[in-house]
Amino acid sequence: MNVRTVATEPFTDQKPGTSGLRKKVAVFQAPTYLENFVQAVFDTVGVPAGATLALGGDGRYLNREAIQVILRMAAANGFGRVLVGQGGILSTPAASCVIRKYGTHGGLILSASHNPGGPEGDFGIKYNTANGGPAPEKVTDAIFARSKALTSYRILDAADIDLDRPGVQRIGEMVVEVIDPVADYAELMESLFDFAAIRELIAGGFGVCFDAMHAVTGPYAKEIIERRLGAPAGTVINGVPLPDFGAGHPDPNLTYAHELVEKMYDLDAPDLGAASDGDGDRNMILGRGFFVTPSDSLAVIAANARLAPGYAKGIAGIARSMPTSAAADRVARKLGVPCFETPTGWKFFGNLMDAGKVTLCGEESFGTGSDHLREKDGLWAVLFWLNILAKRRQSVEQVVQDHWAVFGRNVYSRHDYENLPTDVANAIIGQVRAACATLPGQAFGNYTVKFCDDFAYTDPIDGSVSTGQGLRIVFTDGSRIVFRLSGTGTEGATLRLYLEAFDVDPARQRGDAQLLLEDLILIADQISGLKAKSGRERPTVIT
């Protein structure tokens, strides 16, 4: 077998975002595009002789072909061993689990998360470091710099390996071990939660519906929820991973998980509904006719953490992304633990967890997790809810309403305006930024602006600084409006508007969030000119 050094031209658009490099499938299929980025990663992180790499993805279109290329490049770049999920499958949380359990040098995860798949869809790749978490900004910046200077990549001439055959194979001198993609992760979950109590709950008639959205969590949910916890066959719907996610959009929200939502608002709805996304790191929680916002989900999990065996000793602290509601902050204050506000992106939680500062983390974009891994973890969140429900023996809605009665309700919503022309999105952000200097002290009906800023973050562990993380308009009563451009799309721009108002009045707490936030919605449009500039009367997605 021969190692070839292939001359190439650098690309200028391979800057990793909050979760790696995401582009249209056709972009990754262009000659040398994938190879250049992988070589830039290997050159940047350094490969100790004989090092081990974890490798897998969410099964989307191009997943298998990309894995074969990466295996041959790993062999040519000095790796001694690669652990690859059977069929090329590893959910993002499971990849983090494998990296941490086996002490690999890091891992490459092939996914575009909740973005659509298929030949016309999206593809992505990201590097996770040896702690199991996404590469921090200093690493992704170095990868980007290297990608712009690259003149060649190294690859071994070799035949494809059989990704469906468990066990050891070889590419040159490198060992390739095809591993069960579910086993290590399921074992970890069983160590954290009271499976006996959950089995008893389900055996007593508690109904569950888990929508895997034809994405990666299907095999994980079938093994854990149906086989280990005893839920009836068919509890997991859309459970077979497909390269195009069944022509669906694997984003677990009220718009795209419509099949689950319809089930949960039927008269004969099960007790708990849940969904996860393309690569398994996001989650949505529903009760009968009741939606739990991700912000509330984080707060409820934190307030009830001791009910799960893996968290019985309590939590060290909580971290949330800046756009996420302050509901978790109120729980942290009651528990007497710190709550950190970070930029959006799970990599910002890694340092805090590694330093023992926080146990639980969450983002309003349907991501929740803990220090058991260094990634958000969709199925973990569902199991945590099942553990809470098994111990409290209440409905999902009652658990949340009891939480509001104790802590008050942070009425919260996110409005996504997807696929806006980039110049339009920038113009809206520009108008808000220009207004920031004059907004403090201005009154808008019952709301008075306390301050307006562009959120910046100084990492308390390594001192690194991240700026330009979202425009915040904060009112004197603690209510907030936040404008932010998302970095997860591959075409146009997604503008996200976040709205939050705190309410302690029990008579109002059960009201519809959109009605309770009506005044803030109007104020946001008044300040930004969003409707006029975008030509949109409604957001694409409301959560």
Nearest-angstrom CA–CA distance, 194 and 383? 9
Nearest-angstrom CA–CA distance, 95 and 128? 9
Nearest-angstrom CA–CA distance, 18 and 346? 8
The CA-atom distances, in angstroms, between 311 and each of 68, 139, 294, 315, 442 are 40, 32, 20, 7, 45
Residue 488's identity, in one-letter code, is T
| Annotated active-site residue in 19, 113, 297, 370 | 113
Angle among Cα 92, 93, 97 to the nearest 5 degrees reads 115
Sheet harboring 283-287: ordered strands across? 236-237, 208-211, 272-276, 283-287, 290-292
Q: Which residues of 341-357 are buried (b: 16+ CB within 10 A; e: fewer)?
A: bbbbbbbbbbbbbeeeb
User: Within a 13 Å sphere around the CA of 310, how many CA atoms are in the beta-carbon half?
Assistant: 23
Cβ-Cβ contacts under 8 Å for 184 (sequence gap 6 or more): 94, 97, 98, 101
Residue 48 neighbours by CB distance under 10 Å: 11
Nearest-angstrom CA–CA distance, 112 and 490? 9
Q: Helices (H) and strands (E) in the chain — how many of each?
A: 19, 27
Q: Which structure tokens are listed for 181?
A: 């993609």
Q: Which structure tokens are listed for 443?
A: 């009154």
Q: Are 116 and 104 in contact (CB under 8 A)?
A: no
Q: Are 43 and 227 in contact (CB under 8 A)?
A: no
Of 11, 9, 31, residue with least CA distance to 144: 11
Nearest-angstrom CA–CA distance, 216 and 238? 10
**111 catalytic residue (yes or no):** no
Catalytic residues: 113
